[in-house]
Amino acid sequence: MEELAIKFETSINTIFHVLHDDLGLSIKSARWIPKMLTEDHKMKRLGLGFLDKIVTMDEPSKRGSSQWLPKGSNPPLKFKRQESRKKQMVLSFFDNCGVIFQHYLPMRTSVTAAVFKDVMNMFLKKFKEKRPEMAKRDFDNAPCHTANSTKEFLAKKGIKVIDHPPYSPDLVPADFFYFPVMKKMLEGVEIVDKSVQKEWTRVGRAIPEDRFREAFRKWVERWEKCIRIGGIHVEKIC
């Protein structure tokens, strides 16, 4: 709007009223997706559904881009760029009752198949203590989770792996619920390196159980909507 105001030698407020009132346009922020889906990706999304009694896990790695669009139209899509910065990662395991287990990796450590198996052994011990009645387990499809050695390890542990369509953060509770909520709750909190784990654990425990139950209910709605709209990315529900 600033550029238009300069070009037409008028105020930003005038430009806003012309765009909004006269032309019926509204501004919408771009909705992030990791990659444009191919038809094959869409079919894989359509073929999967929600299963009860599962535990999901993931690891976390503002003003975004926006533009004026006609009212009622969908926001533009933007794609994830490769990042090279090293970050400390946390592997979070949770179900519809809350967080079960979290493991913090040393700084600059990535999640390899070997690291994943070590963490899984720690998780399984805690899992059996907190959720002895549950037998199913949902993993995302990061390479270390789908490596043959990892599949063999999980099979030996009697863990059922639920397939997950690629490039689908909109169908992953960690991506559309847990990590966004955690980051929102940590806004304004001053954190130094030594307090990262303490604060992350504290905030994770502070999320009410009903928020997790609601997120899993929304998960079902996302699957259903994904099927209805032909496998394309689902708009925000949570």
Give the CA dihedral 63, 66, 72, 78, nearest 10 degrees.
-90
Render each residue's pLDDT in the chain as its tens digit; 238 residues. 777 778 778 887 787 777 777 777 776 655 555 566 666 666 555 554 444 457 777 776 533 444 555 556 566 555 554 444 446 788 899 988 899 999 988 877 888 888 888 998 999 899 888 887 765 555 555 556 667 788 888 888 877 776 777 778 888 888 899 999 998 898 887 766 667 788 888 999 999 999 999 998 888 888 888 888 888 888 665 4
Report helix, strand or coil for 133.
coil
Non-local (6+) Cβ contacts of 119 within 8 A are 91, 103
Q: For residue 145, how many other CB atoms are within 10 A of its CB?
A: 19
**Phi, psi torsion values for 44, nearest 5 degrees:** -65, -35
Find out if CATH 3.30.420.10 is the number for domain 34-61+84-228: yes
Non-local (6+) Cβ contacts of 189 within 8 A are 199
Q: Where are the domains of the chain?
A: 34-61+84-228
**Contact between 120 and 93 (Cβ < 8 Å):** no
